[in-house]
Amino acid sequence: MQQWKRLAFGVALAALGLTATAKADDYTSLPRKETLIVENPEGTIKNPGWFNIWVNGGGGVSTGLQQLTMDTLWYIDPEQGLGGATWDNSLAADKPQYNADFTEMTVKLRKGLFWSDGVEFTADDVVYTVKTQMDHPGMVWSAAFSVQVASVEATDPSTVVFKLKKPNSRFHAIFTVRWNGAWIMPKHVFEKVEDPLRYDFANPVSLGAYKLKSYDPQGKWYTWEKRDDWQRTSLARFGEPAPKYVTYADPGPPDKRTIAQLEHNLDIIHDNTPEGMFTLKEKSKSIETWFPGFPFAHPDPTLPAVIFNTQEPPFDNADVRWALALLIDIKAVDMASYRGAATLSALGVPPTAATMKDYQAPMQDWLKNFEIDTGKSKIKPYDPTVGQQIADILRKQPKFKDQIPTDPEAISGAFGYGWWKPDPKAAGELLEKAGFKKSGGKWLTPDGQPFKVRMTVEGDTRSVFTRAGTLIAQQWAAFGIDAKAVPAAKLWQVALQPGDFQVAIAWSVETWGGDPDLSFFLDSWHSQFVAKKGDNQPPRNWQRWSNPELDKIIESIRGISADDPKGVELGKDYLKLVAREMPTIPLMSYNVFTSMDTTYWTGYPTISDPYTDPVPNWANSRLMMVKLKPAQPK
């Protein structure tokens, strides 16, 4: 038995890219009862020594860098937040203060906060962050600042005043964390650097409660240590972080993640396959999940979709985009990818609880009456019964039959309202309307070339999406299109940002979560942020789509306060527009199969205590550090 345990432990360590013999500076040499081990969904980092989070230099972000060391003015938690307050004044002492026409924003900062090297945080750091990125195109937030900020100054050590080029009541969103945000730079470090675009920020100075302890030169793991002066950080308002050490590691593919957690060598799995989750729930008595039963997973406020590169013909044509949408059998995609554990959305907004109430339910009548013109006929493509159909399929499975709701409202909440009906005839008519022809069972483009579509997916990194994208490509191929799925391990860096793709499975819609305001992602879709072909696209308009009507909607939102009811009506205008134009094909919620082992730590967020999102690459997950409790005495 002891020999079997040693073998199992060695397998689990191998799953984390280690050997059973720990090196002195290896995180496995740290006291296990004081160390939280978390999956880094980015996998192995190709440039592990790059910590300059303000430049895309190939370093990691979810290595703990953004969760534990970075800070900015505000946070909005996608769940309830600590104490039930989703809004958190972090480095700021209060909410943003705008003038009457939203052309000026004043920020009051907290006092008594310090960087990990002992230098006090002040307004000068905020001003330096903005000006440096405006002066250096290519930094992460340089475009967002340059097009909006007329001037920024520190009127005293704890006050910053922004003057904007145009009215924008949501300018503060740049500095408000939902997953990440515009992190504040340490002026006293970067002002000594000749070129901030080339500076790796090795041994990063931290503004959070943790600082770097060590990392693997091969990029497989990073360990962070609680600062001795953690009381001088913004997180201290909530209490002392419990783990002394936090390691973010690449555990490998789903089967290895599952083994590592079964052997209690991986406390939090960021995301697993449905099958991996089912195995953990069946074989482990120490696993917690967001929902205690089916579908187990946490519904993130993101919207997985088929994203078209609209700068690449023929995907600049809405008729072509709609034709491809009408060739998708969403029930088959859902069952193949999530095994039915997803919530569908025909609308361009994630089907979370808040958006169900504010958008999905109120727009059902509009969807039922919505028509498209194929050039030969007008059709109503929406099927409001798809969610019910999926529930019926799942209810026939003995393992889940007692967990599937029967109430129509509960079914809609769990599986979605409806989606587009597969309609190959209408799809063919739309392609013909766009100048395509079918010859020998194969579709040809208007210039007579085979219609080729390459669907970029993430491979094992996000296997659920890979399954969805592969099946969608197969459905297109069955219609006579030369369609194939192509994996890209670093999808965001190698494909979406540079625009080096035709079609991809990812998301470009990310909402705040518990707030109906859509400006979090929608403002970034303004045409002023669309990069030229060949240039890197700033987040989040990966489809590089622009539309004058959309610009007007966004500009109207910028001119009203964040709590103005008119914002929801403008949000509905956006949803109608993207339904007509289909720059992306919305699919479903991003249900993340996060699992948490309670062998060493308890106090994780769940649906019964939803103080934050359990998915550990979110910067909001710093709140977990003050809620966790050791399960075993030291």
For residue 311, what are the contacts with CB-CB under 8 A and spacing of at least 6?
A: 499, 533, 544
* Residue that is written with structure tokens 């187990």 in the block: 296
Token representation of residue 270: 């960021």
Per-residue pLDDT averaged across 618-629, rounded? 97
> Could you write out the DSSP letters of every residue in 336-395?
HHHTT-S-B-SSSS---HHHIIIIITTTHHHHHH--EE-SS-EE--EETTHHHHHHHHHH
Burial, 195: exposed, middle or buried (Cβ in 10 Å; 0-12, 13-18, 19+)? exposed
Amino acid 353: pLDDT: 76
Neighbours of 132 (CB within 10 A): 20
Amino acid 478: pLDDT: 98
Token representation of residue 571: 């949000």
* Residue that is written with structure tokens 């610009």 in the block: 551
Neighbours of 399 (CB within 10 A): 10
Amino acid 498: pLDDT: 96
The mean-pLDDT minimum among 114-128, 344-358, 424-438, 586-600 falls in 344-358
Q: What CATH superfamily classification does 298-591 receive?
A: Dipeptide-binding Protein; Domain 3 (3.10.105.10)
Amino acid 211: pLDDT: 98
Amino acid 11: pLDDT: 42
The mean-pLDDT minimum among 15-29, 137-151, 382-396, 534-548 falls in 15-29
User: Residue 309's pLDDT band (boundaries 50, 70, 90)?
Assistant: very high
Q: What is the pLDDT of residues 393-446, one digit of tens each?
A: 999 988 887 888 899 988 898 899 999 999 999 999 999 999 999 999 999 999
Per-residue pLDDT averaged across 286-302, rounded? 89
Amino acid 562: pLDDT: 87
Q: Yes or no: say if 517 and 486 are a contact pair by the CB < 8 Å rule.
A: no
Residues pairing with 302 in the sheet: 510
* Residue that is written with structure tokens 């953990």 in the block: 280
pLDDT > 70: percent of the chain? 96
Amino acid 4: pLDDT: 32
Amino acid 569: pLDDT: 98
Helix (H/G/I), strand (E/B), else coil: 453: strand
Q: Yes or no: say if 630 and 242 are a contact pair by the CB < 8 Å rule.
A: yes
DSSP state of 232: G
Q: What is the pLDDT of residues 72-85, one digit of tens each?
A: 999 999 888 898 88
DSSP state of 67: I
DSSP H or E segment with residue 442: strand 442-444
Burial, 283: exposed, middle or buried (Cβ in 10 Å; 0-12, 13-18, 19+)? exposed
Q: Report, in this order, helix, strand and coil percent for the chain, each rounded to 5.
A: 35, 20, 45
User: Residue 3's pLDDT band (boundaries 50, 70, 90)?
Assistant: very low
Side-chain-side CA neighbours of 195 within 13 Å: the count stands at: 4
* Average pLDDT for the chain: 93
Per-residue pLDDT averaged across 448-460, rounded? 95
Q: What is the pLDDT of residues 508-531, one digit of tens each?
A: 999 998 788 999 899 999 999 999
Amino acid 239: pLDDT: 97
Dihedral over Cα of 393, 395, 396, 400: its sign? positive
Domain regions of the chain by residue span? 298-591
Q: Which amino acid, 346?
A: A
Q: Which amino acid, 49?
A: G
Per-residue pLDDT averaged across 191-195, rounded? 97
Per-residue pLDDT averaged across 271-298, rounded? 91
Side-chain-side CA neighbours of 203 within 13 Å: the count stands at: 3
Threshold 0.85, pTM exceeds: no
Across 167-258, the runs of DSSP E, i.e. the strands, are 176-177, 210-215, 221-226, 245-249
Amino acid 25: pLDDT: 66
Helix (H/G/I), strand (E/B), else coil: 205: coil
Amino acid 209: pLDDT: 98
